[in-house]
Structure formats: C-alpha cells, structure tokens
Structure 1
Amino acid sequence: MTVWDKLIGQSAAAEVLTAAAEAARHIVERRIAEGASSAPATAADATPLEQERSMTHAWLITGPPGSGRSTAARAFAAALQCTGPQVGCGVCEGCRAVLADTHPDVTTSRTQKVVISIEEVRQLVSGAYAAPQEGRWRVIIVEDADRMVQRTTNTLLKAIEEPPERTVWLLCTPSPEDVLTTIRSRCRNVALRIPPADAVASYLVEESATRPEGPISPEIALQAARIAQSHIGRARPLAMDEEMRAIRRERITKIVRVRSAPEAVYEAKQLVDRTSQVAKDYLDREAPQAIADLKRTLGYDEKERIPPAIRSQIKDEEEKQQRIATRRQRDELDFALVDLLSFYRDVVVRQLGSEISVINTDLAPLVDELAAQSSTEQTLARMDAIAQARKRIAGNVPPQLAVEAMMITLRPQS
C-alpha cells in the first residue's frame, strides 16, 4: 500500500511527485543535520540533484474532471509528511493522518460554491505563515482553484511570490489557463490525463469486493467507467445503482427523440426541473442543518430570538447555502449535458465508420438509429449546440433559456 494507490492511471505524475517528495525529505534532513532546521528550507537550498528533481513551493495540478486532481494533491501532501522508510509509504502516522484529512499541517480548501471568496483566500494566506506543528511541511491544497476571480487570485499571488519557509501550495485546476499567468509562472505544473476505462473498472471492482451486496461485476464496472468517461466519482454510483443507469438512459432517449418545437421546450423544462430538484433537496435537507449548527456555535438555539449583532452572520450563512445549492444545480445540469455530448460523439463515430469503441454501449441501438437518420454535419451541429449551452450556463445565462435554445437545434431540421 502507498499513498498513490487511489491515483488511477497516472503513473507518470506519481513518479514526478514521488521524486519531488524525496527531494523535500533530503532538504529537511540536510538542514537538521547542519543544525539549521529553523532556517527557511526551500528549493534554493537543494543540492544539484534535488534541484533537478524540482521540489518547489508551489504546484499546479491540472487535468480534466475525474482525472484525480484532488487525489493527487492529497497523495503528494501525504508523501511530504511521510515519516516511513519509503517516501509515501501510506502506513506511517503522517501518511495516514493526511489521507484521513486530520493532519494539523495540511489545510484543504474545498468550495461547494460557484466562486471562492476573497475572505477564504485571505484565511489560507494567513495560515500559510504559521510554522508546521507536527509535520515537516505546511501544505495548503486549493481544490477548484479556477473558481477564484482575478481579485481573489491577486490576494494569493504575494504568498506564492514570497513563500514562507516550509510551506507548499498545491493548486488544482482543469488546465493551466484557468489561473492568472502570474500564478502559473510561479508554479510547477503536473498534468494528469484521463485514466483508461479498464483501469477505472478494475479499481471499482476491487473497491466493491467488501460490499454487503456483493462485488460489482467487471462488465457493469466497465460500462459505468465508459459512460462516466473514466470519471471515478461519477462511475462509482453508476456502477452500484441500476436505477441511476436507467434514469440516464431514459433522459438521453427522450431528448434525442424530440421532433417538434413544443416537445423541445417541454423536454428542456423537464431537464432543468430535474436538476433544480437537486438544489431544492439540498436547501430542504442540508442547508437548515448548517444554519442550525452555526447558531449553536454562536450559543443560540432555534427557539431563541437572534440578537441584531449576529443576524448578519446568519444571513451570510444563508446566502452561502444558496450559492452551494446553485453550484449543485449547475454541476448536475452540466453532467447531463456531458452525457448528451457523449451520445452524439458515438453517433459521429458510427457515421464515420470508425473502429473507435462507443461510450454508450447500453444505448447502441439508438446510436445506430440516429446515425442512419442524420448526416455527420447535422450531428456536429448538435454537438456544437450542446457545447454552446454549457458555455452559456457557465456565463450565468438562465439555464431554461440556454437549454431551450439547445433543444431546438437538436431536433430534426426539415
């Protein structure tokens, strides 16, 4: 067992990060041996070999959704804090604490909101200047760093330009272009790739071996990995839940069979309503609990009248929960559009007579039907319409309008 076991299909990235963690250990150990452990331990202090391995204070971990950016960042953090004989052993106290998200010197910023606020980044920067308490490094992981606006990113810039001693920043984004050039130029980039579907399937089968319901079959695991396009987080529930797979098939089938403008408007409303329900369920179930927890933290229960002095904090929490719900709706809608995009990708594969395997093997008859009824140009236009809808929704166009325009384009043109 090592810290890299859950990083599927990323052997090249794991090799780079392992070498950097080994260099980091050399830096600290040499400082201790020299009796100067209190001095800044940076890559500038490294031997030529360590410099070649490029242990640095700021990393940009990039890759498409599902490639394992957060998993890679956490594994690297564990390797930096590892105290075992093999760097990244996965069994020492340092590794286990990081992987369990309980290490005092590893801070992870996860946002469920649409954007990361400047206040959150300021707190991270403030914490970056504290010396490590138990581990060898203070590590700060920022998941979804692309959700920082420019003003917020500028707050982070100085901490990266003038790094505190023994502090390492790990920023996770889909691509290097998702952060400012000034940030990108000060980070070392580690690019992840989409893992092979068979590797994801094997991992799901192995992971499910101890389930009370029994392990997932290799065939179902591979099908789930393919339709999730190797996104482990999405493949897992699809592999375990037949109902979820059936809902997905039904949703795609209804959309691609739309023939008239009224049908297009109706199916657009159905799709948006289903994804809106995700946000509503969150606001009904989880948001009230978060607000109640905040009130208890402030020393008030549900029956007490909230003093004016802390009403603003309650209001801020309510607005935060609303932003989280909005992001969940957008993510759910985007997942649905990506599923639809993968279907039309399969149609193009069939129309071009390519030997590339289709993604939606459970919808193969429908793929063949649509490939025969339309031209390659029509299919590509439909894919463009889906991509445009995703872009518009990301740009805060009302989802109903964006999806309606897409649906009108998807129907057969006379």
Structure 2
Amino acid sequence: MTAPVTTAEFPWSDVWGQDAAVQTLRHAAQDPASLSHAWLITGPPGSGRSTLAYAFAAALIADDPTDEATMRQVLARTHPDLTALRTDKVIITIAEARTLVERSYFAPSAGRYRVLVVEDADRMVERTSNVLLKALEEPPERTVWVLCAPSEADLLPTIRSRVRALRLREPDAEDVAGLIARRTGADEVIAEQAARHAQRHIGMAQRLAGDESARRRRDDTLRAVLGVRGVSTAVEVAGRILQAATEDAKTLTAERDAAERASLLRTVGIAEGQAVPPALRAQISALEDEQKKRATRSLRDGIDRVLTDLQSLYRDVVMLQFGQGEALINRELRAELDQLAAAWTVERTIIVLDAIATTRESLERNVAPLLALESLLITVSSGRTP
C-alpha cells in the first residue's frame, strides 16, 4: 500500500494544509495518463494557490523527483521553461495575455514540460480571457497551463470548460494560528488573534502577527466605524480610512519602487545622482507608469482589506442577533457588538452588509474610493442606502 503523501517532501514543503491537493498534483506530475493540459487551482485568499502552482510546475519541469536543482530553479522563477504572470495592476492586459500565449507554443528547452502559471486569472476581463481560449483548448504537446483564482465562478464558462479544477480546503483558524506562531515566533495569544482577524488568510495573519502597527490600525478603523453617527462623521472617518490605506500602500511599494529604479539605472550605466540622458528618459517613464499602476492596485487591495474587516464586524453583529456569539471574529469588541446587535434590527445589519458588497463592486468599476467609502459609511450611520 502506498504511503500517504505529505507536504514535507520537496518541492511541496511550502504548501501547508493541502495534503489532498498535493497528492493529486504529485501523481499527475509523474503519470502522463492523469495529467491534464490545463488546471485551475481555486481557493480563498491565503489558502496557498500560488505556492501550490509553483510546486506543481517544479515537479512537472524536473526530470524526476530527485532533480532538486531544477526544482529550486523553478521555485526561484528563473527556469527557462516556466512562464509566470502575476499582475501588480488592477487587470491583466490583452498584451500580457498574448505574450503568454506566444510563449506557450515554445517547446521545453531543458525540462520535461513548459509550464505557464497565471496567478491572478480572475483579473482577466472577457476580451482578455478570449485570447487564452484557443491555447487552452489545443495546447502544444508538453505544455501545461496552471491558472489560479479564488473560485471557478471568477472565470468565464468557456475557460472553466477547458481546465481541470482543483479546489483547495480552507484551513482552520487554530491550524493557521499554530503555523503563524512557528513562522513568526509570536506568542500564542497574538497568533490566535491574528489568525482570527485575518479570517484564516495565512499571509494577512502573518503580517498582523508580526506588525503591531497593523494590528493597531485595524482596531482603530473598526472602532472609528462603530462611532459613526451621521453624515459629518461618516465623511471624516471615510477620509481617515482612505488616508491610512494610502499610507499603507506607500509603505508596501516604496522600497520596491526605489530598488527597481536603482536597478534600471545601474543596468543602463547611470551612477546614483547622475542626470538621466534624454535618450533614456522613456525607459524611466515607462517604469514609473508601471509603478503607478501597481500603487493603484496596492491601494485598492488595502481598501479591500478594510472592507473585509468591516464585513467581519457586521457578520459578528448578525451572529449575535441570532444568538450565536460563540464564534465571533472580533471578540475584543464584544461589548460594542452586543450594544449594536441590541440597537439594530437584523434587516438593518443586512443592509449594511449588502452596502459593503456594493462598495466592492463600485471600486471594481473605478468609482473614486473616497466617494465609495463615504456612501458606505452614510449607509452605516442611517441604515438606508444613500
């Protein structure tokens, strides 16, 4: 009888809590009869979709399970038979998709397969998705596509019909807390709180556990929203949320932006502090444009995290209104939540939860973030949609 596959084996060692998925993909990598030409790995944010995708790519490209050198090269994203697309922008462009399709027709140069990983497949609009259709339907021999998305519903039916879907399990909060404690050295109380507040999102839980300012910022935001009592405070708190999200986005991107600019200048032979010649300014401008797009994505991701936190807050209120207070996400705010649950009707809480979902949709349609947040908080304060 074959021993059960564990995630302790290379290259699967960074894949946590997804033993069944690992077993499926490991078997597929070694058995051509069970290998589909296109895969869709789905799961909630923080479930390890991308980590699993690259582990699968490493196993596919390597000559055999002992070819550790090749697998390490794939995991480092430097192997010539791996093409990876991870957008730092709001959407994947048609140009990026076309480049990916072109690469898919190259034969493997060194490994067993050519693998194309699309980390954010849900960020393709319909026209962009259509670019991939033929490549997914009739891929060249020894080419494998691996798409990642939160759910199958995030992709067009025509894309879903051409891939083999693999759904990842959502980890338990206790398991995430244990993992975060081991990774960060945080004490058990902070690790448990981080896992709970991040709603089992491993990456976010790790950040909360290791960054006291992030924990404080989350708490301040929730308390400020609970204190909204009218239009004036709604506008004020919306501005504070946007400012905090903007500063957070700058913190996350500033160091990377500076490193990219310095690297580009070194590549073209310009010393630090030296003026950029006119002939090279177009390259600098192109880099700056990309960084601005990434900053927009980072800001939107920051606002989305705030909306996720607010969703957890009013989810807790609904739970209390139905007498289910044992599994609250925001236990530290129990007194305030009890007061709100008693003061509001269930219908009003549902209106607010719907408004949070509407705010997400508005931001995806490029509505100004401040206006979207103000509209949301006015609904919070009044129980009616503006």
**Quick check: TM above 0.5?**
yes
SS in 2 for 1:116: coil
Distance 2:251 2:103 in 1: 34
Distance 1:230 1:282 in 2: 21
Q: How far is the alpha carbon of 1:356 from its aligned partner? A: 4.8
Give a deviation string over 1:295-347, Cα, whole Å, max 9, x none.
44345566345445x55444332221111110000000110110011011111
Pairing 1:371–2:348 present: no
SS in 2 for 1:238: helix
Distance 2:254 2:13 in 1: 37
Query: Corresponding residue for 1:392?
Result: 362
Pairing 1:303–2:279 present: no
SS in 1 for 2:27: helix
Query: Corresponding residue for 1:7?
Result: 15
Q: How far is the alpha carbon of 1:216 from its aligned partner? A: 1.8
Query: Contact 1:145/1:173 (CA < 8 Å) preserved in 2?
Result: yes
Query: Corresponding residue for 1:341?
Result: 311
Query: Contact 2:249/2:299 (CA < 8 Å) preserved in 1?
Result: yes
SS in 2 for 1:19: helix
Distance 2:62 2:96 in 1: 28
Q: Given the superposition, is the C-alpha separation of residues 318 and 63 from structure 1 closer, same or farther in structure 2, using an over 3 Å criterion? A: same
Pairing 1:77–2:57 present: yes
Pairing 1:272–2:242 present: yes
CA RMSD of aligned residues (A): 2.4
Distance 1:413 1:137 in 2: 56
Distance 1:297 1:243 in 2: 36
Distance 1:172 1:117 in 2: 16
Q: How far is the alpha carbon of 1:97 from its aligned partner? A: 2.6
Q: How far is the alpha carbon of 1:58 from its aligned partner? A: 0.8
Query: Corresponding residue for 1:207?
Result: 183
Q: Given the superposition, is the C-alpha separation of residues 281 and 243 from structure 1 closer, same or farther in structure 2, using an over 3 Å criterion? A: closer
Query: Contact 1:65/1:174 (CA < 8 Å) preserved in 2?
Result: yes
Distance 1:177 1:260 in 2: 37
Q: Which amino acid is the alignment partner of residue 59 of structure 2?
A: A
Q: How far is the alpha carbon of 1:392 from its aligned partner? A: 0.7
Q: Which amino acid is the alignment partner of residue 316 of structure 1?
A: A
Higher alpha-carbon Rg:
1
Distance 1:169 1:307 in 2: 41
**Structure 2 alignment gaps of length 5 or more:** 1-7
Q: Which amino acid is the alignment partner of residue 13 of structure 1?
A: A
Q: Given the superposition, is the C-alpha separation of residues 204 and 82 from structure 1 closer, same or farther in structure 2, using an over 3 Å criterion? A: farther
TM-score of the aligned structures, taking structure 1 as reference length: 0.83
Tell me the matched-pair count. Answer: 375
Q: 2:163 aligns with which of 187, 208, 233?
A: 187
Distance 1:293 1:4 in 2: 32
Give a deviation string over 1:149-198, Cα, whole Å, max 9, x none.
23322222222222122111111112223223222211111112321111
Query: Corresponding residue for 1:92?
Result: 68
Query: Contact 2:115/2:143 (CA < 8 Å) preserved in 1?
Result: yes
Pairing 1:18–2:26 present: yes
Q: Which amino acid is the alignment partner of residue 196 of structure 2?
A: R
Distance 2:210 2:191 in 1: 8
Q: How far is the alpha carbon of 1:283 from its aligned partner? A: 6.9
Give a deviation string over 1:120-170, Cα, whole Å, max 9, x none.
223222222222233211111111012122332222222222212211111
Pairing 1:401–2:378 present: no
Of stretches 333-342 and 174-183 in structure 1, the one that deviates more from structure 2 is: 174-183
SS in 2 for 1:411: helix
Q: Which amino acid is the alignment partner of residue 21 of structure 2?
A: A
Distance 2:256 2:212 in 1: 26
Of stretches 367-376 and 260-269 in structure 1, the one that deviates more from structure 2 is: 367-376
Q: How far is the alpha carbon of 1:257 from its aligned partner? A: 1.3
Q: Given the superposition, is the C-alpha separation of residues 150 and 299 from structure 1 closer, same or farther in structure 2, using an over 3 Å criterion? A: farther
Q: Given the superposition, is the C-alpha separation of residues 197 and 4 from structure 1 closer, same or farther in structure 2, using an over 3 Å criterion? A: farther
Q: Given the superposition, is the C-alpha separation of residues 8 and 289 from structure 1 closer, same or farther in structure 2, using an over 3 Å criterion? A: closer
Q: What aligned pairs does 1:346-361 form with structure 2 within 5 A after superposition?
A: 346-354=316-324, 356-361=326-331
Q: Given the superposition, is the C-alpha separation of residues 230 and 93 from structure 1 closer, same or farther in structure 2, using an over 3 Å criterion? A: same
Distance 2:254 2:224 in 1: 29
Pairing 1:136–2:112 present: yes
Of stretches 332-341 and 141-150 in structure 1, the one that deviates more from structure 2 is: 141-150
Query: Corresponding residue for 1:109?
Result: 85
Q: 2:40 aligns with which of 41, 60, 63?
A: 60
Q: Given the superposition, is the C-alpha separation of residues 119 and 236 from structure 1 closer, same or farther in structure 2, using an over 3 Å criterion? A: same
Query: Contact 2:94/2:131 (CA < 8 Å) preserved in 1?
Result: yes
Q: What aligned pairs does 1:289-300 form with structure 2 within 5 A after superposition?
A: 289-300=259-270
Query: Corresponding residue for 2:5?
Result: none
Query: Contact 1:104/1:133 (CA < 8 Å) preserved in 2?
Result: yes
Q: How far is the alpha carbon of 1:383 from its aligned partner? A: 1.1
Query: Contact 2:63/2:112 (CA < 8 Å) preserved in 1?
Result: no
Q: Which amino acid is the alignment partner of residue 341 of structure 2?
A: A
Q: 1:238 aligns with which of 204, 208, 227?
A: 208
TM-score of the aligned structures, taking structure 2 as reference length: 0.89
Q: How far is the alpha carbon of 1:372 from its aligned partner? A: 2.4
Query: Contact 1:8/1:195 (CA < 8 Å) preserved in 2?
Result: no
Of stretches 217-226 and 257-266 in structure 1, the one that deviates more from structure 2 is: 217-226
Distance 2:373 2:178 in 1: 36
Query: Contact 2:351/2:383 (CA < 8 Å) preserved in 1?
Result: no
Distance 1:217 1:284 in 2: 30
